[in-house]
A and B are shown apart, each in its own frame.
Chain A
């Protein structure tokens, strides 16, 4: 579905990604793991076209979209839940969800999508008139994921969904990941919480200082010596 080929990207003269290649097949759930500052967020920003790649190729369902303006990427079927959730704090939950359905194609099915998101997160329905900024971190994460789902994406990008949340909430966020997977969504998730994320994805890529160091099935990575020593402290 999504293919990234030989991607180089960065900010100004600072290069954050070096020759990164990865692919996400339809129905797969993929994680990009790695330490802080490895370039994981930059990778998602490049895929969403929030930053320009200096070289390399982005392809979605066979269509190369390297030059597409960022606001048209949603229409390809790619929705991102950004790092730190980034809800509109002074808009209600429902208005935040409405923003997720901004594209003309998504507007047509707004009611139906809203019902779907509310069935996935009944708590959001209870809080629909509440200002998003007044909710707890876990609730905000649900709202942010719901907002991304409103555009009826084919591919969901999740940037550090567990960051800044209490351990109990982190657990529930990963349970949520599994439910979203069960709904048939294709997911690309970026996480530092390596042990937990490897339990909910099919395959994973290890990104270190802007380069892909390892890739493979999630259980293989979980069992590999390198990951166990460097990241799981075993």
Chain B
């Protein structure tokens, strides 16, 4: 029985670590939605592009890992800005369904492009980080790093949004876009910056995921839907709600997967989501309007 409890503790801790990573994934998507009011359905595919970039630079071209990481983040940021400028901006005034369709189109485009360029084989960067034991609890170093970096990125983003002029404008623009010019703010510039920041967060997520998972063209499907559900559960566009929802979801996956079976963790998490959508369709931590 005592043995069992150690594994349960391990599952809870792993859930916590996963929660940090999922919270980072949700942050980028939520930020873009909260400010621009458009859901990037292809968000996880930006992460996929970042992962391939890191793999190609490091494993194929021999670029040092840190530089490959920096390039992956930079490329994802540029992609985010391009996505806004050429895909999202023309449909800003369109129906939400059209906005979903165009960013959904980008999802398939990026998947197909990755397949053409790199094939369907699973790739990995060939970096295997060791495990670490604290007492009888075994943890993965890659997960610990991912958790630490994700939390640091979330805190930095929070400080950026609350302490700087640009960050304050990013929060303000979602509340009243029409009067931003009276503040001297160029709204299109703020949108572009937010999109680049959303892309950069996807790039950072790619750095963390590439240490734990193999890369293939459909890897976005492993993270995309769950990221979207977390954002919805936390109340779309609500950054703090998304942060908390990520940890709730991660515990369902981790502890549920431990108690039953790995795949059952996901089933439980999605069941919880469906029940919550009936009970609180506006999200667990919906903004009061």
Contact = CB atoms under 8 A, between A and B. Distances in A.
Interface of A: 48-50, 69-75, 79-80, 82, 86, 88-91, 95, 98-103, 106-107, 147, 151
Interface stretch (B36-44, B183-191, B260-268): B183-191
Given A48-B181, A95-B168, A69 B186 contact: yes
B176 interface: yes
Interface in B157-203: 165, 168-169, 171-172, 175-176, 178-187
11 contacts: A50-B181, A69-B181, A70-B182, A71-B185, A86-B179, A88-B176, A90-B171, A90-B175, A98-B165, A99-B183, A106-B184
B172 A91 contact: yes
B225 to A, nearest CB: 29
Contact of B182 (A48, A69, A91): A48
A75 B185 CA distance: 11
Given A88-B176, A90-B175, A82 B182 contact: yes
B185 to A, nearest CB: 6
**A-B CB proximity, top 10 nearest:** A70-B181, A74-B184, A103-B184, A71-B181, A88-B175, A88-B172, A71-B186, A86-B179, A99-B183, A102-B184
Which has the most chain A C-beta neighbours within 10 Å: B176, B178, B181, B183?
B183
A102 B175 contact: no
Interface of B: 165, 168-169, 171-172, 175-176, 178-187, 287
Contacts of B171: 88, 90-91, 95
Contacts of B185: 71, 99, 102
A74 B171 CA distance: 20
Contact of A98 (B168, B178, B180, B182): B168
A106 B287 CA distance: 32
Nearest to A103: B184
B177 to A, nearest CB: 11
Contacts of B181: 48-50, 69-71, 73
Contacts of A106: 184
Contacts of A89: 175
B165 A102 contact: yes
Contacts of A69: 181, 186
Q: Could you tell me the dominant secondary structure of chain B's interface residues? A: helix
A106 B169 CA distance: 15
A99 B175 contact: no
A3 to B, nearest CB: 21
B183 A74 contact: yes
Contact of A82 (B169, B175, B179, B187): B179
Contacts of A88: 171-172, 175-176
A40 B168 CA distance: 31
A98 B187 CA distance: 16
Given A50-B181, A99-B185, A107-B165, 4 more contacts: A71-B184, A71-B187, A74-B183, A102-B184
A212 to B, nearest CB: 24
A201 B157 CA distance: 47
Contact of B184 (A72, A82, A90, A91): A72
A73 B184 CA distance: 7
Contacts of A102: 165, 169, 183-185
A88 to B, nearest CB: 4
Contacts of B178: 50, 86
Given A98-B165, A98-B168, A99-B169, A74 B175 contact: no
Residue from the set B172, B178, B179, B184 with the largest chain A CB neighbour count within 10 Å: B184
Nearest to A132: B175
A49 B287 CA distance: 33
A204 to B, nearest CB: 24
A140 to B, nearest CB: 13
Contacts of A75: 184
Contacts of A74: 182-184
A120 B241 CA distance: 37
Contacts of A147: 183
Contacts of A49: 181
A45 to B, nearest CB: 10
A147 B179 CA distance: 12
A90 B184 CA distance: 20
A99 B168 contact: yes
A25 B196 CA distance: 44
Contacts of B172: 88, 91, 95, 99
B168 A71 contact: no
Nearest to A48: B182
Nearest to A86: B179
Nearest to A98: B168
